[in-house]
Chains A and B, each alone.
Chain A
Amino acid sequence: MQIEDRVMDSQERIGFLLRGLYAGRGYSRYRMSKFEEYDLYSRNKDFLFSDGVITFTDTNGRLMALKPDVTLSIVKNTRDVPGTLQKLYYHENVYRVASAEDGFREMTQVGVECMGSVDSACVAEVLKLAAESLRLCSEEFVLEISHLGILGAFTDAVAADEEMRRKLLQCVTEKNAHGITLLCREAGLPDSAGEPLRQLTALYGTPRSVMPRIRKLAEENGAAEYAEELARAAAAFAGSETEDRIRIDFSASGDVKYYNGIAFKGFISGIPGSVLSGGQYDRLMRRMGRKDLAIGFAVFLNMLERLAEGGRTDD
C-alpha cells in the first residue's frame, strides 16, 4: 500500500522525505523512549534550547522528564566503539518552552548524529547532508557555516573574564559590532583591541568571497589552523549544485561548553528563524564521559509548518 501525498501535511511529508534521505545514505534509525531521567537534563541544562523541562515522578519514585532534546539521550544511550563511525538518524517529538507566554510546546525534530572517528571527510559529508536536507524543503535556502575555534581565539584575545567572553559571543551572534566596542571600552581596553573580532563579525558571504580575508585575519590572530579546517569544510561544496547557497557567517554559533569546531545553521526564504542547526560537539561527549568525536544536526519540522506546498519531492 502506498501513502498518498495529499493526506500528509508539510511537516509529515518533509519528515518522511528526510528519513528516506538519511536511510539512503547509510544512517540507521535510532528510536527512543519519550521519557528520560531528569538528572540527565539538569546536569546539562545549558545544552538545551530552552529553560524548563516537563517532569513527573515515575511509579518507582524516580524523577523523569519528557525529553526536551534528542542528542543528549543518544550520547547517553550509545557506547564508544573505537575505530568506527556510528551513523544514526532520528525522527522524534520533543517538549520545550517556546516562549514564556506560550508555555510548553510539542515539537518535531528530524536529525542525524555521527559519533566515533569523525574526520574532515565526515564533517564534509554531514555538511552536505545538511544542505541536501534544506534543499528537500526548498530551493531557496542558505546554509551558513562558522568555526568556534576561530571565534574562541578572537574572543579570548579580548575577554578579561568568562562574563565578558559570554557577552562578546552574544554580540557576534547579533552581528553587533558597536556592542563589541562598548564592551572593550567598559573593560578599559582601546577600541583597537576589539577590531579583529569586529571584522570577523562583519564578514558574511560565500566561501569564495570571504575565505581569503578569514585566512589572513586568522593568521594574524593565532587561529590559522582553524581557518584551514573551515576552508576544508567549505571546500566540500566546491563545484556542487549547492555551492552558491553556502555562506560563511560567524553569527552561527553555539555554546562553547558543548560545541567546538564547525557550527552551522540553515535558513529557508520566508521562514523567519533557522530551520536547521548543528555542529561538532566533542566537548559534550567529554562532559558525558565519552571518548568519541561527534557531529550532528537537527531539522525543526514545526518551523516548516507554513512552508508553501511544493518543496522538492524528487530525490
Chain B
Amino acid sequence: MINIALPKGRLGEKVYAMFEKAGFPCPALLENSRKLIFDNAEAGVRYFWVKPSDVAIYVERGAADVGVCGKDILLEYRPEVYELLDLNVGKCRMAVAAPEGFRDNPNRTLRVATKFSRIARDYYASRGRDIDIIHLNGSIEIAPILGLSDVIVDIVETGTTLRENHLEVIETIVPISARLIANKSGFKFKTEQIERLVKEMGKEVEQP
C-alpha cells in the first residue's frame, strides 16, 4: 500500500484526476464527507488530504510515501525528499511585484514583504542586494500599499490580484508547478510500487 498525501483544494482535485486516470482510483475521495483518509486496497493506494504547505512535512517524515506539492514549498523549506516528477499543473511563478511605476533606489535597503523568506533572501543575495525581510503570513499585496514594504515576493498566477491593487510584476524569480515527491526511505522499501506510480503518472503529464 502506498500512502499518498494530496494538497486540499483545486490543485489536489486536479492531481487526483491524474492519479485516477493513471490507474490509482479511489472514488470515495470525491464524496462529500468529513473523512480525511481513503483506501483502495485493490489499487494499492491510500490517499489523504492535508494542507498544501504541510504535504512536504508528511512526506519527509514518512507519514506519506509520496505526495504532491508546489515547487515553491520545496524551495522554501528544502525538505529531504526525492522530487520524482514535474506534474506540469498548478503552474504559476514566484515573482517580485511593486507598486506601478516603482523605481528601486540602490542607496537604500530594500524592504521585501513575503511568505517565502528563504527564496527572497537567496534571490537578492545572488544579486548582492541588501534587503530587509518582512515575513508575513497572508495578504502580502497590502504591504507596499500601506508603506510596510517597497516590494513583495509572492506567487503570481494570473496577476489579477496584483492589478486590482495597482501592483505589477517587475522580476520573475522562478517558474512554479506541482511536483510528485517521495520519502527517501519509503522509496527504498516500496521501490516497485513507487516506480510504477511514477511511470504511469508520467504518461498523464501534459508536456508544455
* B2 contacts chain A at the CB level, 8 A cutoff: no
Given A272-B60, A272-B61, the answer on whether A179 and B188 have CB atoms closer than 8 Å is: no
Q: Is the CB of B188 within 8 A of A142?
A: yes
Q: Bound complex: CA of A273 vs CA of B82, how far in Å? A: 12
Count chain A CB atoms within 10 A of each CB in B82, B185, B188, B189 and give the residue with the most. Answer: B188
Q: Is the CB of B185 within 8 A of A174?
A: no
Query: 1/0 per position for A240-252, CB-CB distance to B under 8 A?
Result: 0000000100010
Q: Is the CB of B191 within 8 A of A272?
A: no
Partner among A140, A175, A176, A178 whose Cβ is within 8 Å of the Cβ of B189:
A140
Q: Is the CB of B82 within 8 A of A251?
A: yes
Q: Which A residues are CB-close (under 8 A) to B86?
A: 178
Query: 1/0 per position for A106-146, CB-CB distance to B under 8 A?
Result: 00000000000000000000000000000000001010100
Partner among B82, B83, B184, B195 whose Cβ is within 8 Å of the Cβ of A272:
B184
* A271 contacts chain B at the CB level, 8 A cutoff: yes
Count chain A CB atoms within 10 A of each CB in B61, B81, B84, B195 and give the residue with the most. Answer: B84
Q: Which B residues are CB-close (under 8 A) to A178?
A: 85-86
B window 160-191: CB within 8 A of A: 182-189, 191
* B90 contacts chain A at the CB level, 8 A cutoff: no
Q: Which B residues are CB-close (under 8 A) to A269?
A: 185, 188-189
Q: Is the CB of B83 within 8 A of A174?
A: yes
B window 66-101: CB within 8 A of A: 80-86
Q: Bound complex: CA of A204 vs CA of B187, how far in Å? A: 10
Q: Which B residues are CB-close (under 8 A) to A270?
A: 62, 185
Q: Is the CB of B185 within 8 A of A144?
A: no
Q: Is the CB of A274 within 8 A of B184?
A: yes
Q: Which A residues are CB-close (under 8 A) to B187?
A: 175
Least CB distance from B179 to A in Å reads: 8
Q: Is the CB of B189 within 8 A of A271?
A: no
Least CB distance from B65 to A in Å reads: 10
Q: Is the CB of A273 within 8 A of B184?
A: yes
A window 254-293: CB within 8 A of B: 267-274
Pairs of residues from A and B, 4 with the lowest C-beta to C-beta distance, nearest first: A272-B62, A142-B188, A178-B86, A176-B83
Supply 8 further A-B pairs (C-beta < 8 A) apart from A269-B189, A272-B186. A174-B82, A175-B187, A178-B85, A204-B191, A204-B195, A272-B61, A272-B184, A272-B185
Partner-A contacts on B (CB < 8 A) = 60-62, 80-86, 182-189, 191, 195
Partner-B contacts on A (CB < 8 A) = 140, 142, 144, 174-176, 178-179, 204, 247, 251, 267-274
